[in-house]
Structure 1
Amino acid sequence: MPQLAVDGATLTYDDEGPRDSAEVPLVLVHGWTANRHRWDHQTTHFAERRRVVRLDLRGHGESSGAGVRTIEELAADVLALLDHLGIQRCVLVGHSMGGMIAQTITLAHPDRVERLVLVNSISRMTYNRGRGLLMAASTLVPFKLFVATNIQRAFAPGHPREEIREYIRASAATPREVVMTLYGAMRAFDVLDRLGEIRTPTLLVHGYHDIQLPVTQMLRMAKACPDAVVRIIDAGHELPVERPAELTAAIDSFVTAPAPV
């Protein structure tokens, strides 16, 4: 279990698959309160033929460190890991908050991203008045209830309850400071007006039943990034574990397709 010390944190990561592959490495970035194991299915599949890197973000999973305030700071951690591993160019895949990190990296360093995959992610959070009040009020409830409610809502109806409970327990182990600070960072994140700057081939893949980051918000991204490929899957917000095989197939099809001219 390799680790890297970065700016007051210790990042735990996995580096799997053949180093001598002609295919560009795949880098997987998980979302808020999650960890690198959200990508188990995708890692197993892609590591058969290409290098795959995934990490626990600062303060998540088996990585230490707190004090992070912005999506940009998390993006700097990911870039530090890539520099450490000697990866100059990659296929960058981000889920939810991880997709915000991936957008930040792509906008700042387009030369380092060969293809971009955003899974259940958005470029700007938008709430109607009722939902905005609900989200603001949710921060006033006890921390464990706040986490449990958000994770429960992330899954489409019918997902096995015991599996959801396991994800709730894992998320609740994330330090409160990290959870609440990054919750605010996600609400403040806004690069929608800059999406047109992205020339990297991009896949937007989203769960139809996502009520955390609704599909209508992803479609605003598709309008701002008209050359993006869009896939909608019958799932909620947690696509990597709700429909792992379908997500893996969508990513595989995208990264193996000829680059657009």
Structure 2
Amino acid sequence: MNRKGPLAAAVPTHRRVVTLPGRGRTTIWEAPGPPGAPVLLLLHGATLNAELNWSGVINTLGRHYRVVAPDQRGHGDGPRCSVFRLEDCADDAAALATELGIDRFVAVGYSMGGFVAQLLWHRHRERVAGLVLCSTARNMCGSPWERSVAMLLPSAVATAAWFPALYPLGADLIAAGLLDHDLGPAERSWALAQMRRTTLRNALSTVQAVSAFSSHDWIGSVDVPAAAVLTRHDRVVPVRRQWKLARAIPGSTVIEVDGDHGVFVSSPGRFAAAVLAGCHAVCAGPVDELDTEPTTTAS
């Protein structure tokens, strides 16, 4: 992976293009893991791509698991779309697993990817062996201010679609605030370049879909092992909402990590340790080789 950051070379990581019949093509990053290891399907957040969200994690996870990280619909090199729907992302992920010959997997979702992971269980329960939900919630539109912003999104999406001058603009115009303020210049430049691989139009359509999502009515029925990785200082997904999600899922394990919403770039080792602990909790694996010791509790 061509990133400016502390990505070790201990685990072989491959990038390739996969065609999903009837759905388009996507680029995936993958690590084979040990023979017979459980499969982790990593689902990135809104305005990100697999390389940006997961490049600091794949090597750590790949020592224990087979790892597959696709670019999602409308993002990076994911399948193209005119209207972004989270349900399509969930169906893409299930189709990718089929194409790769994977029967069951643990869905690991970050932020918006956590919504997609929840939908994967809801729509394709026979495929999902567990959930690791990072920096995410049951919904993202609860307060009056958030509802007001959501009401303006359709107009913003239409504007981006109707004015050709806006087509070349990238997601970094609205997503730069996801990055931690103290991020180094090289890391920030690399992260913004990755964000620019998603168009502003697709980013706005994604935010509109995210604002409309809610799993309140069914998330309490989750019947597979689950873990929630909580970012304690998150400015995008308030930690109280992350806790509400964790407490709504019966028997879920909570992993707390010091960091903001951009912890995957600013502190990749710390983030990787927390995600690994969540995966071990879901897969009943050993908690070893952690870069830092996360706080683990039962919800």
Question: TM-score range with shorter-chain normalisation?
Answer: 0.7 to 0.9
- Aligned equivalents of 1:166, 1:136: Cα separation in 2: 32
In the other structure, the counterpart of 2:12 is none
**Among 96, 103, 121, which residue is 1:88 paired with?**
103
User: Is the alpha carbon distance of 1:137 and 1:105 closer, same or farther for their aligned partners in structure 2, counting shifts above 3 Å?
Assistant: closer
Is this contact kept in 1: 2:229–2:278, CA < 8 A?
Answer: no
Supply the distance in 2 between the matched residues of 1:8 and 1:114 (Cα, whole angstroms). 24
Q: Is the 8 A contact 1:151 1:167 kept in 2?
A: no
- Between 168-177 and 84-93, report the one with greater CA deviation: 168-177
Note if contact 2:231-2:239 (Cα within 8 Å) is conserved in structure 1. Answer: yes
Q: CA distance change for structure 1 residues 207 and 77 in 2, over 3 Å: closer, same or farther?
A: same
Q: Percent identity?
A: 26
Question: 1:229, CA displacement in angstroms?
Answer: 1.3
Q: Which residue of 2 aligns with 1:236?
A: 260
Residue 245 of structure 2 corresponds to residue 221 of structure 1: yes
1:110 is paired with a residue whose SS is coil
32, 38, 43: which one pairs with 2:46?
32
The yes-or-no answer on 1:65 pairing with 2:89 is no
Deviation at 1:222, TM superposition (A): 2.2
Q: In the TM superposition, what whole-angstrom CA distance separates every residue of 1:143-177 from its partner, at most 9, and x where no partner exists?
A: 79994464332233422244234323322331233
Instruction: Give TM-score scaled by structure 2 length.
Output: 0.76
For residues 47 and 62 of structure 1, the distance between their equivalents in structure 2, rounded to whole angstroms, comes to 22
Alpha-carbon offset, residue 136 of structure 1: 5.7
Q: 3-state DSSP class of the match of 1:60? A: coil
1:66-215 → structure 2 map (5 Å cutoff): 66-133=81-148, 147-148=171-172, 150-215=174-239
Report the alpha carbon displacement of residue 135 of structure 1 after superposing the two structures with TM: 6.3
Return the alpha-carbon distance in structure 1 between the equivalents of residues 183 and 151 of structure 2. Answer: 27
What residue is the counterpart of 1:43 in the other structure?
58
Q: What amino acid is aligned across from residue 246 of structure 1 in structure 2?
A: R
Measured on the aligned residues, the alpha-carbon RMSD in Å equals: 2.7
Is the Cα–Cα contact under 8 Å of residues 126 and 217 in structure 1 kept in the other structure? no
| Separation of aligned partners in 2, 1:132 and 1:108 | 27
Which of 32, 56, 59 aligns to 1:17? It is: 32
**Cα displacement (A) at 1:226:** 4.2
- CA–CA distance in structure 2, aligned partners of residues 15 and 167 of structure 1: 20
Which of 262, 270, 279 is 1:255 aligned to? 279
TM-score by length of 1: 0.86
1:4 and 2:28 matched: no
Q: Deviations over 1:106-147 (max 9, x none)?
A: 122233222211111111113423354456668759979994
Kept in 1, the 8 Å contact 2:231–2:257? The answer is yes
Whichever residue aligns with residue 243 of structure 2, its letter is L
- SS of residue paired to 1:206: strand
* Deviation string, structure 1 residues 190-234 (Cα, Å, up to 9, x no partner): 112211110211111122221211111112212322421122222
CA–CA distance in 2 between the matches of 1:145 and 1:219?
35
* Aligned partner of residue 193 in structure 2, secondary structure: helix
Question: 2:255 & 2:278 partners in 1: Cα distance?
Answer: 10
Asked whether the 8 Å contact 1:154–1:210 carries over to 2, the reply is no
Letter of the 1:210 counterpart: D
**1:162–1:255: structure 2 CA closer, same or farther, 3 Å change rule?**
closer
Higher share in helix: 1
